[in-house]
Structures are given as C-alpha cells and as structure tokens.
C-alpha cells in the first residue's frame, strides 16, 4: 500500500518521525547526564530537546494520520496503525507532562516525576516504533506497489514495478 502523502517520491511520515524519536530519546540521555553530574546545562538541553521533539511529533502525526486513513478498513494494518498512532499520542503527552514539570523550575531542572515520565515515554516509543516497523517491513504500508531491488529511481516518474538496467537507469547525481 503506497503512502498517500509524499515528497520527491518518498512518504513524508517515516522521514519526519526520526526527528522526534531521536530528540525525545536524547532528552532522557541529557537528564541522565544532569542526574550524574549535577550540571544544569544538561537539564536545559533536555528541556529544549523535549520542546523540539513534541513539536516534531505533532507535525509527523499529521502525515501519519493521512497515511492511516488510506489503509483499507478491517485489515491487520489498520488495527496496528491505530495502536501505533494512539501509542505515539500517549508518548507525546508523557513528554508534554515532563516538559510542564520542568517549565517553571529555574534552569529547567527535572524533578524525579519529570524524568519518570520521560522514561515511560521512551519505553512506550520503543513499542510504537516497533509497531511502525511492523507496518512498513511486514505489512508493506507506505511501500510503492511493485517495489523491488532493481526498481527505478523515485524521481524517474516510472512505476516501482518497472525493471531497470544500467543502460536504462535515470541519470543520478554524482555520489548517489
């Protein structure tokens, strides 16, 4: 099932989701750095990575919902996509809670409850990330119809089911 929202031939949702996942997971690393060293700069960086991660998660969700609506009803993919989406909304809400608990504290120093919410959020993100991988890797959601190892470049305007040879391949920029 091909993604409905693309840029330059590739689905937008999987391209965007790496940013909030990375930022939110990194924020927990910065919290651990703060707890180990007491250096408040770690807490400040964690606060701002959470801020950016929440924003990125919300933007990514818009494209995820658009792709989810295109999945046929009464399929395993539709159900897994629903759990993936609900779980990621909960992840964002957990980090919103963590962010709020830091907001009014000088230096954005995290309370234990803020770090606990972040830990739970990262743990749940591992599960929802696996569900997203199940959607793409196992169920083919977001994968072009007829995709294969010798499919033409997505910018070639040829369907993925086309076969290319070295002589017929669309010219590629140097290094690609």
Residue 101: CB atoms within 10 Å:
19
Name the percent of the chain in helix, strand, coil, to the closest 5. 65, 0, 30
**6-138 adopts what CATH topology?**
1.20.120
The whole-angstrom distance between residue 8's C-alpha and the CA centroid of its chain comes to: 19
CA–CA dist 81, 69 (Å, integer): 10
**Residue 133 confidence (pLDDT):** 92
Report whether 122 contacts 144 (CB < 8 A): no
| pLDDT value at residue 146 | 79
* Dihedral over Cα of 119, 120, 121, 122: its sign: positive
pLDDT at 145: 81
Please write the tens of the pLDDT for every residue from 61-105: 999 999 999 999 999 999 999 999 999 999 999 999 999 999 988
Higher pLDDT, 117 or 137: 117
> Which has the higher per-residue pLDDT, 6 or 55?
55
Predicted pLDDT of residue 167? 56
What is the distance between the alpha carbons of residues 80 and 135, in angstroms, rounded to a whole number? 7
For the chain, the domains span: 6-138, 146-176
pLDDT at res. 172: 57
């Amino acid at each position: 099932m091909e993604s409905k929202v693309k840029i330059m031939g590739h689905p937008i949702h999987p391209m965007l989701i790496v940013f909030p996942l990375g930022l939110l997971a990194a924020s927990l690393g910065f919290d651990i750095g703060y707890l180990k060293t007491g250096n408040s700069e770690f807490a400040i960086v964690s606060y701002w990575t959470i801020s950016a991660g929440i924003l990125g998660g919300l933007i990514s969700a818009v494209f995820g919902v658009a792709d989810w609506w295109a999945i046929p009803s009464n399929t395993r993919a539709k159900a897994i996509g629903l759990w993936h989406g609900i779980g990621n909304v909960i992840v964002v809400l957990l980090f919103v809670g963590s962010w709020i608990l830091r907001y009014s504290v000088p230096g954005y120093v995290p309370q234990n409850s803020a770090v606990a919410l972040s830990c739970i959020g990262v743990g749940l993100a591992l599960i929802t990330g696996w569900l997203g991988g199940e959607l793409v890797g196992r169920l083919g959601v977001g994968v072009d119809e007829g995709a294969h190892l010798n499919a033409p470049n997505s910018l070639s305007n040829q369907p993925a089911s086309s076969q290319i040879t070295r002589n017929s391949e669309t010219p590629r920029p140097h290094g690609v």
